[in-house]
Chains A and B, each alone.
Chain A
Amino acid sequence: MIHARAVEKRYGRRRALRPLDLRLERGGFLVVTGANGSGKTTLLRLVAGLAAPTGGELDVDAGRGALGYLGHEPLLYRDLTALENLDLYGRLYRVPERRERIGMMLERYGLWEVRAERVASYSRGMTQRLALCRALLHEPELLVLDEPFTALDAEGAELLDRQLAELAGTATVLLTTHEPARVEPLATSRLALA
């Protein structure tokens, strides 16, 4: 699914990611760890297609419509409600049976009660949960998650644990985390960035 050879990323003089080799097969679950500034976020952004590598080769066998990304920012409109946000993304991602799917996701992540409230009024944990809904709404084949547990509350983290366990094996997952022990049982490969 993902083939990377000597992939690196520089912003002018600043080197954000040192040359890296990576291979992740379909259905794989790769856990990336590393100190802050080691390039974890950059790597994920490259895989997601938000940035292009400045060196090496990167092949990601998933189109934009098959990719779900969760970054440090929720990628949501603060002044829209959960429903409106997901409806917009649902349309852009051509999600079939959009309303049902949105309803299901909101319920599963405990956001159904607040579905008609603006995201600006949400707590950090709730926002992250909604961001997760956004990332998973279109049932992506490739999930790219950048420290998904960090902003989640305890309940949200449990929900994510369950979701990841469900997805492992069917979807391909690439995630970074500061607590690898949590996802250890699901991991098929590990990568530590210096």
Chain B
Amino acid sequence: MLAFWVAPEDADQGISQKIFYFHVPIALTAYACFGFGAWKALRLLWKGGERYDLESYVAIHMGTIFGALTLATGSIWAKASWGHWWVWDSNQLVLFLVLFLFYSAYFMLRFSIEEGPRRANVSAVYALFGVALIPVSFFAIRLAEDFIHPTTFTRDGPQMTGTMFFAFCVCWLAITLVAYTLYRVELLGKRLDANLRELREILTT
């Protein structure tokens, strides 16, 4: 944890660059979470096994949280770099907006279906649609550049020196670990909840 606080200080290039150390790893982690969630979803549909439903759900939950963080940090970066809280130019940001909408609908869908195999199956299929949407949306947004907005801002492309790259990787690793820890914690919490409920049922019947 300490590592990723220290490193950006070292490579101090102004807040815009600092945010970058958070923003991109958070974005990458969000993708990883969605991918992980889709993988668990596939396992559920392929093999069956209730545990995959919960694992998929928690992974997507993580992904959505990190997705929201991506949007937030991206917005801060945009403000710092170009003076606007939102820019349609950043393909990354627009992609996350679309994905955020998509995965928010995931939760609305999930909570409007009664618990059971139907809910698990439908959630899993939706999660798979999500990962298919990621590359397709990405291409769509790229294509849309043609006619949506002319590129008036130059991309603040990070050309990283060795130490900066190292700091970046440390950050990335740290954030991935945070995500994974949160994932395990939430999963454990939900499983404990479920076990408690079962116990209560057994004791009262």
Contact = CB atoms under 8 A, between A and B. Distances in A.
- Does chain A touch chain B in the assembled complex, meaning CB atoms less than 8 Å apart? yes
Q: How large is the interface on B (under 10, 10 to 19, 20 to 34, 35 or more residues)?
A: under 10
Contact of A13 (B48, B50, B119, B201): B201
Interface string A71-113: 0000000000000000000000000000000000000000000
Contacts of B115: 11-14
Q: For chain B, what secondary structure do more than half of its interface residues adopt (helix, strand, loop), or is it mixed? A: helix
A137 to B, nearest CB: 28
A12 to B, nearest CB: 3
B114 A11 contact: yes
Q: For chain A, what secondary structure do more than half of its interface residues adopt (helix, strand, loop), or is it mixed? A: loop
Nearest to B201: A13
B117 A51 contact: yes
Nearest to B205: A15
B201 A54 contact: no
A9 B116 CA distance: 10
A52 B201 contact: no
Contacts of A12: 114-116, 119
B197 interface: yes
Interface in A2-42: 10-14
Contacts of A54: 50, 117
Nearest to B197: A13
Contacts of A10: 116
Contacts, number: 18
A10 B50 CA distance: 12
A11 B50 CA distance: 11
A161 B56 CA distance: 50
A13 B195 CA distance: 11
Interface string B171-205: 00000000000000000000000000100010000
A11 B114 CA distance: 8
A54 B48 CA distance: 10
Contacts of B48: 52
Contacts of B116: 10-12
A14 to B, nearest CB: 8
Interface string B109-122: 00000111101000
A51 B121 CA distance: 12
Contacts of A13: 115, 197, 201
Nearest to B117: A52
Contacts of A51: 117
A10 B115 CA distance: 9
Contacts of B201: 13
A28 to B, nearest CB: 29
Contacts of B50: 54
A13 B199 CA distance: 11
A13 B50 CA distance: 13
18 contacts: A10-B116, A11-B114, A11-B115, A11-B116, A11-B117, A12-B114, A12-B115, A12-B116, A12-B119, A13-B115, A13-B197, A13-B201, A14-B115, A51-B117, A52-B48, A52-B117, A54-B50, A54-B117
Given A12-B119, A51-B117, A52-B117, 11 more contacts: A10-B116, A11-B114, A11-B116, A11-B117, A12-B114, A12-B115, A13-B115, A13-B197, A13-B201, A52-B48, A54-B117
Interface of B: 48, 50, 114-117, 119, 197, 201
Interface of A: 10-14, 51-52, 54
The 8 closest A-B CB pairs, nearest first, are A12-B115, A11-B116, A12-B116, A11-B115, A13-B197, A11-B114, A52-B117, A13-B115
